[in-house]
Structure 1
Amino acid sequence: MPKTPFLLIITSILFSFKGISQTLTLKITGNTLKETHILDSLGYNTLHKDLTSITEETSSLQEQLFSLGYIENILIPSKKINDSSFVYKLHLNRKFNTIYIYYKSELINQQTLNTISNKVFHDHFILNVRDIEQSLTFLNTEIAKYGHPFSKLKLTNIRIDEQHNTLKAHLSISASKKKRTINNIIIKGYEKFPRAFLKNYLKIKPNQLFNLETIQYKTAQLNSLNFAKEIKPPEVLFSKDSTSLYLYLEKSKSNTFDGFLGFGTNETTNKLQFDGYLNLNLTNNLNFGESFRLLYKSDENDQKTFEADVSLPYIFKSPVGVDLLLRIFRKDSSFTTTNQDIKIHYQINQKHKIFTGLLYTESNNLITSKTEPNISDYQTQFYTISYQYTQTQPENILFPLNEKMYFETGFGKRKTNINSEEQTQFKIEAFKIFNLNLKNSIYIRLNGASLLSSSYFENELFRFGGINSIRGFEENSLYASLFGLMNTEYRFQLSNSIYIHSIIDAAYFENDIQQTQQKLFGYGFGFGLLTKAGLFKFNYANGKLENTAFNFSNSKIHISLTTNF
């Protein structure tokens, strides 16, 4: 084939594609220079691929002008300058800033309208024109909360009030006369999920007005439970006469086995000593939401502690639950103390819980001689009132609980073979994690207790010290009639399963028997590692009294492992 015709064909094809793919230019002007400035400020697209795109752009611009109050704007037919340039003219005309909307009070209440307008009257309310779309969307959402998920709102009979240069319209609400209620709640995945938690914890129950937004918010709170979680958002099946709610749940591993091994040097014998504890928590094994805890602790001071407590929530599907506790403490051959505690709790919502109960204590002096005058047989009976607040962060697998506060006060009497004496006690435990960012956080814990009495026995004082109170001291080695302590940690997460932290603890306590007041400090470091077996923790801490030098031989190493199963 000759080269000249071939080149002509190629050139023709190239120019043909160029013509097909050319860009069209759009220019829109107003009737005045001011109107043109307004149109330019709206930022419409000037470059388009075809005439259809230009038509859509001008329609979109007109809708914007309507929403801004230029309801009389008129689009003048286009003027084609050349094959690629188009000029449109838009007359904006008058701008209306406000609209009077008339409504029927039996369809929507005035209180709801007060949230979108500060000028609400018995038959109408006033809005800025630019707020119409957002306000109607909000009103439709509010109406849906009252059992009308398919409601529709629109403005009808829109007209111009020439005298006041404003707009007027009627609010038309289309909704079924019969309100939608939840008829059936169907659980998929974890069919044995305790139904009492739906009614009392999530506050979702049959015959409740249907509101999908509220339901989604409530079901998300399931992730605050340690024995169940939501695996997908809830779904709804609407039929002519009923509404069925589907919840998709999964049972979680909630049983834990916790223990630690501690060792340090005995200050008297200079020999290595070991201490430790075992802590077993069983949760929701009967699919009732119940929990059972068993604790046994033995430490280097020849002290032994046994605890067993049971929590039974939502008895007979009511919002009331019961907590039972048995605690036995033995101090070498000096004394034993037994606590029996029964509480009735009421779950206000997912975060708040209140308690009232009875605490009975009996302590026996095991020393036959009278060399220990501060240890005596006694019995106490306290009436207690408590409050608990919790806040979770389930997305953090290392620290799923972000905040907790527990406060308890008790009033009662201590009885001995000689006399009876009024007593009052206060207890508080609180902690909070301040998340600075995804990797850095600060942990602060406060713990304290006070016993108010005219006289004290050694075997009724509070005992603290060790890994769960002030670190760097022996377990339960400190006796106090009043104490307060603060644990702090700066935590840095190396990954989702490893973190390191500092230890800075401080405490103050009083012992009214010995007439002493002391300040204590603990310093150290630690790390945590989430393994297949559970969460492994290592702490190294050194404790000291105020105005005393550090003694590294008094350092304590604490090792613990919490296993979920």
Structure 2
Amino acid sequence: MLSSKAIAQNYLLQLHAVDGDTVLLQKEVQIPARFGSGNDVTAYLSKLVPSLQARGYLAASIDSLDIRYGRYDAFIYLGRQYKWARLSFDSIPQPLWTEAGINPAQWEGRALDARQLSGLCEKILRWCENNGYPFARVWLGNAHIGDKGDVSGELLLQRGELRKIDSISVEGDAAISKGYIERYLDIFEGSLYSERKLRNISPRLRELPFLQEAAPWELAFKLTDTRMKIYLRQKRSNRLNAIIGLLPNSVQTGKFLLTADASLALQNILGYGETISVTYQNLQYRSPKVNAAFVWPYMLNSPIGIDANFSLFKRDTAFSRTAFQAGARYQLNAADYVRIFYQGMSNHLITIDTAFIRLNKRLPDNADVSANGGGLELVLDRTDYRLSPRKGWQLRVNSSALIRHVQRSDAVTGITDLSGFDYASLYDSLEQQKYQYHAGGELSYFFPLGKRMTLMCAYKGAWLSGRYLFQNELYQLGGFKLLRGFDEQSIYANQYHMLDLELRLLLDRNSYVYLFSDNAYVQSYYNGYGSEGLYNGFGLGTTLETKTGLFTISYALGRSDNNPVQFRQSKIHFGYLAYF
């Protein structure tokens, strides 16, 4: 009896061809040059038979294994190799060929791999189940095996009866329109049966904050129709959210600064899945901000929704800003949408330091400036659970083009002094920048680490065009929501690029403990000044779900190019989101 050998350290493997075809065995089997341990040998042998069967040796097996003093003798039965002579797909509809990757030429003369054939049948059945044929069958028919192991046959498909969802009824005490449920689940009366959409019903409903399943949904196949029942009940979804921050050594007061971020959100009070929210923030000294927003996702049971957002911000005694945005969105599915919007922004100075202007012959850092225009936004979500993902990714990108106008202030143009300088000329260069462009985006990816941990890697960035910008036009960074470890909205930027890393230990569906590191490159150019730098915020926190809401607490430290870590500058945030 002939054999092939491989020796690595003290381990020897011998393969014995019990059917005597050793030359063929040596051709088909490539034994690794080294085996580091006995476990490596057994791992190799465990993969050997499936590998041979994938090459058409369907009867291949290990008849016996003898182990003595580090020597492994495996007795292999190879058997006949089977190949496809011809496999016919004439009964498979042509549209399915592309979906299943069918190419008849690829099956001629190829080794017969049962797993490959099974995988092809699975693709065909999956297409049928998602296109109205829940009772489809696929099998190999008219099979013939030649003397040399050449196999010919025909792949047969019996699709069965075409089924549609003829009626949908929503049962329970949930105050929601049936049209909203149909749009949200992408299942309509009269639509084709789709196994994929049916499997997504319960996961999708779990992501709705104002509804929950009262019982598993049901689908009844009758002789003449197919009826679906979805059982829903109301869930406490209106939210009262408050985040309190404690920031040490305020520049303005020399004492601890207490920040507040409170919001009220009312959901589905009209029964159409709409959201109405109001937010109050006081994140800087004597600088309150009020925001109101409205979202109606499916207008008149169509995939088109509308939204609006208004905000008012007052920065101490320097300036006030109003901003408005109104948009229309097209829902691609329950989580994804494309949005077109109009936005307008207007800044008005409250006080003007004319002494600074006289002394420096330049405009102050803030100005009366407005901008109006439109933009586009795309939102995609491919996570396993939108509210607290363990795996998947999320994307949000937007851009806008605006017409910008800097208003000449009478307090500036009216300044006179003995030098005879024309202070109105300070505005001349600003008229060169009539258009302004914004671009921004966020991309988050969640890497599962076992069943209870996930690593979130997220990019956040934005860019604002222009050479003649003012400080009150820029983005503001810092704080619990964007660049933790720094004072709330204390960093001004015309562009920033941030990488967030967050390691989460998942306690349950909506509770977790986390470690984080926020790393940002920030560029700040306005009114003739320019700076750029690197920022790093890090810390830990937790989000815990209770019977009445969510409790959050975080501790953060920050450092930048010129400011090392100082524990007395640590930031602590407490938050509670109550459902009612």
Fold equivalence (TM over 0.5)? yes
Do structure 1's residue 332 and structure 2's residue 316 form an aligned pair? yes
Alignment of 1:271-290 (within 5 A): 271-290=255-274
Q: 2:391·2:454 contact (CA, 8 Å) conserved in 1?
A: no
Q: Which residue of 1 aligns with 2:299?
A: 315
Counterpart Cα distance in 1 of 2:500 and 2:114: 54
1:531 equivalent among 546, 555, 558: 546
Counterpart Cα distance in 1 of 2:312 and 2:407: 22
Q: 2:390·2:454 contact (CA, 8 Å) conserved in 1?
A: no
Do structure 1's residue 563 and structure 2's residue 578 form an aligned pair? yes
Q: Which residue of 1 aligns with 2:14?
A: none
Counterpart Cα distance in 2 of 1:415 and 1:157: 78
Q: 1:117·1:127 contact (CA, 8 Å) conserved in 2?
A: no
Do structure 1's residue 416 and structure 2's residue 411 form an aligned pair? no
Q: Read off the aligned partner of 2:504 and give its amino acid letter.
A: R
Question: How far off its partner does 1:193 sit?
Answer: 3.6
Q: 1:362·1:379 contact (CA, 8 Å) conserved in 2?
A: yes
Q: Report the CA distance shift for 1:330/1:129 in structure 2 as closer, same or farther (over 3 A).
A: closer
Q: So what's the TM-score if we normalise by structure 1?
A: 0.72
Q: Which residue of 2 aligns with 1:502?
A: 515
Secondary structure in structure 2 of the residue aligned to 1:265: coil
Counterpart Cα distance in 2 of 1:214 and 1:140: 15
Question: How far off its partner does 1:306 sit?
Answer: 0.5
Q: Report the CA distance shift for 1:157/1:267 in structure 2 as closer, same or farther (over 3 A).
A: closer
Counterpart Cα distance in 2 of 1:273 and 1:174: 72
Q: Which residue of 1 aligns with 2:287?
A: 303
Question: How far off its partner does 1:175 sit?
Answer: 5.5
Q: 1:398·1:530 contact (CA, 8 Å) conserved in 2?
A: no
Deviations 1:496-516 (A, max 9, x none): 776443343333231333322
Alignment of 1:214-363 (within 5 A): 214-217=197-200, 220-230=203-213, 234-263=217-246, 264-267=248-251, 269-363=253-347
Counterpart Cα distance in 2 of 1:425 and 1:533: 40
Counterpart Cα distance in 2 of 1:267 and 1:103: 77
Q: 1:497·1:531 contact (CA, 8 Å) conserved in 2?
A: no
Question: How far off its partner does 1:99 sit?
Answer: 7.0
Q: Which residue of 1 aligns with 2:473?
A: 460
Deviations 1:318-348 (A, max 9, x none): 1111110001000112211100101111112
Q: Report the CA distance shift for 1:125/1:341 in structure 2 as closer, same or farther (over 3 A).
A: farther
Alignment of 1:95-134 (within 5 A): 98=84, 100=86, 104-105=90-91, 108-109=93-94, 111-112=96-97, 115=100, 118-119=103-104, 128=112, 130=114
Counterpart Cα distance in 2 of 1:239 and 1:533: 43
Q: 1:216·1:234 contact (CA, 8 Å) conserved in 2?
A: no
Deviations 1:344-365 (A, max 9, x none): 1111223432111111112211
1:209 equivalent among 192, 200, 209: 192
Q: Read off the aligned partner of 2:514 and give its amino acid letter.
A: H
Q: Report the CA distance shift for 1:110/1:417 in structure 2 as closer, same or farther (over 3 A).
A: closer
Q: Read off the aligned partner of 2:395 and give its amino acid letter.
A: M
Q: Report the CA distance shift for 1:302/1:436 in structure 2 as closer, same or farther (over 3 A).
A: same
Counterpart Cα distance in 1 of 2:239 and 2:313: 23
Q: Report the CA distance shift for 1:486/1:95 in structure 2 as closer, same or farther (over 3 A).
A: closer
Question: How far off its partner does 1:477 sit?
Answer: 1.9
Secondary structure in structure 2 of the residue aligned to 1:515: strand
Counterpart Cα distance in 2 of 1:95 and 1:271: 84
Q: 2:97·2:103 contact (CA, 8 Å) conserved in 1?
A: no
Counterpart Cα distance in 2 of 1:522 and 1:189: 47
Counterpart Cα distance in 1 of 2:58 and 2:94: 27
2:451 equivalent among 428, 438, 441: 438
Q: Which residue of 2 aligns with 1:428?
A: 441
Q: Which residue of 2 aligns with 1:404?
A: 394
Q: 1:69·1:97 contact (CA, 8 Å) conserved in 2?
A: no
Question: How far off its partner does 1:434 sit?
Answer: 3.0
Q: 1:117·1:126 contact (CA, 8 Å) conserved in 2?
A: no
Counterpart Cα distance in 2 of 1:94 and 1:482: 67
Q: Report the CA distance shift for 1:147/1:252 in structure 2 as closer, same or farther (over 3 A).
A: same
Counterpart Cα distance in 2 of 1:139 and 1:550: 60
Counterpart Cα distance in 2 of 1:509 and 1:277: 27
Q: Which moved more, 1:214-223 or 1:253-262?
A: 214-223
Question: How far off its partner does 1:392 sit?
Answer: 3.8
Q: Which moved more, 1:187-196 or 1:513-522?
A: 187-196
Q: Which residue of 2 aligns with 1:380?
A: 371
Q: Report the CA distance shift for 1:142/1:359 in structure 2 as closer, same or farther (over 3 A).
A: closer
Deviations 1:77-115 (A, max 9, x none): xxxxxxxxxxxxxxxx9997547565655x633743984
Q: Report the CA distance shift for 1:231/1:99 in structure 2 as closer, same or farther (over 3 A).
A: farther
Q: Which residue of 1 aligns with 2:526?
A: 512
Counterpart Cα distance in 1 of 2:111 and 2:227: 38
Q: 1:430·1:445 contact (CA, 8 Å) conserved in 2?
A: yes
Q: Which moved more, 1:112-121 or 1:183-192?
A: 112-121
Q: So what's the TM-score if we normalise by structure 2?
A: 0.71
1:479 equivalent among 482, 485, 492: 492
Q: Report the CA distance shift for 1:409/1:236 in structure 2 as closer, same or farther (over 3 A).
A: same
Counterpart Cα distance in 1 of 2:143 and 2:295: 62
Secondary structure in structure 1 of the residue aligned to 2:104: coil
Unaligned runs of 5+ in 2: 1-17, 21-55, 60-78, 357-362, 409-430
**Identity rate, percent:** 22
Q: Which residue of 1 aligns with 2:381?
A: 390
Counterpart Cα distance in 1 of 2:296 and 2:57: 59
Counterpart Cα distance in 2 of 1:512 and 1:203: 48
Structure with higher Rg: it is: 1
Question: How far off its partner does 1:560 sit?
Answer: 1.2
Alignment of 1:57-68 (within 5 A): none
Counterpart Cα distance in 2 of 1:371 and 1:343: 43
Q: Read off the aligned partner of 2:265 and give its amino acid letter.
A: N
Q: 1:153·1:173 contact (CA, 8 Å) conserved in 2?
A: yes
Question: How far off its partner does 1:542 sit?
Answer: 2.9
Q: 1:216·1:233 contact (CA, 8 Å) conserved in 2?
A: no
Question: How far off its partner does 1:312 sit?
Answer: 0.9
Q: Report the CA distance shift for 1:540/1:94 in structure 2 as closer, same or farther (over 3 A).
A: closer
Question: How far off its partner does 1:223 sit?
Answer: 3.0
Q: Which moved more, 1:205-214 or 1:327-336?
A: 205-214
**Superposition CA RMSD, Å:** 3.8
Counterpart Cα distance in 1 of 2:126 and 2:514: 46
Do structure 1's residue 541 and structure 2's residue 531 form an aligned pair? no
Counterpart Cα distance in 1 of 2:472 and 2:176: 44
Counterpart Cα distance in 1 of 2:122 and 2:390: 36
Q: 1:113·1:120 contact (CA, 8 Å) conserved in 2?
A: no
Counterpart Cα distance in 1 of 2:181 and 2:399: 31
Q: Report the CA distance shift for 1:561/1:401 in structure 2 as closer, same or farther (over 3 A).
A: farther
**Alignment: residue pair count:** 476
Counterpart Cα distance in 1 of 2:435 and 2:127: 55
Q: Report the CA distance shift for 1:127/1:535 in structure 2 as closer, same or farther (over 3 A).
A: same
